[in-house]
Amino acid sequence: MDLFVGTLVFIYGMILGSFFNNLALRWVEDKTITGRSICPHCGATLHAKNLVPVLSFLFQGGKCHNCKAKIGWIYPTMELLTAVTYLIVYLVYGLSINFAIGIIFMTVLLISAVTDFTEGLVLDKIVIPPTIVILILTVVFERTSIVTHLVPAIIIFLLLLIAVKMEKLGSGDVTIIAGTYLVQGFLFGSFAMLFSSTITLAYMLITKKKKVPFIPFWVIGNILTYVIIYFVNNASIGLLIP
């Protein structure tokens, strides 16, 4: 890993994570994404010193600079999680087309995790356009991945349409699950599915909740999958990770 590039990826991840979080929260409330950032409690305009990822939250004691109302932990969590996710994808692929594909997909997951966690919604306008971009990039630049990535994704998508018809899954959920196989391939897409489902089930058993937002666990499952890919690549096991 190039330390300088890795550091830039991490920093930009934190900055973009802050933007993505605001984007998600505005979209679920059907608000415009333009305009200055404001405190959701008192409406005070946030200035540059209030918008430094993670640090502003810490220096302000997790409170608004104006009304002193508590700021949700979702803000620094999203900023750090985006930075760590981007760095992990960079460690796996370096600066390559697969890095771009991975970043686009994980960005979709992270934004959808916020909308799912806060409102139980996975918005098609967040999920579908980037997935189409990923599909185009795969077909144009990663033709060797068509059999191992595109075909399984199409099969999974068609199978999950049955769940949509039964109103067990939404179209956004189906696109994300199929997108995982498109990005990760059949083998590691199955790892992501296993990790995500297992963590979700464990959480439901511990908390005794019958319904939980699934996409945040899908984020964790995909991050763990990238970690496995990283160790497989560096262990020189002989597996070809496209």
pTM: 0.86
pLDDT at residue number 239? 47
Report how far residue 90's alpha carbon sits from residue 30's, in angstroms, rounded to the nearest whole number: 33
Please answer whether residues 21 and 29 qualify as being in contact, where contact means their C-beta atoms are separated by less than 8 angstroms: no
**Mind listing the pLDDT tens digit for each residue in 82-133?**
999 999 999 999 999 999 999 999 999 999 999 998 888 888 888 999 999 9
User: What is the residue-averaged pLDDT of the chain?
Assistant: 85
**Mind listing the pLDDT tens digit for each residue in 138-188?**
888 887 778 889 999 999 998 888 877 776 667 788 889 999 999 999 999
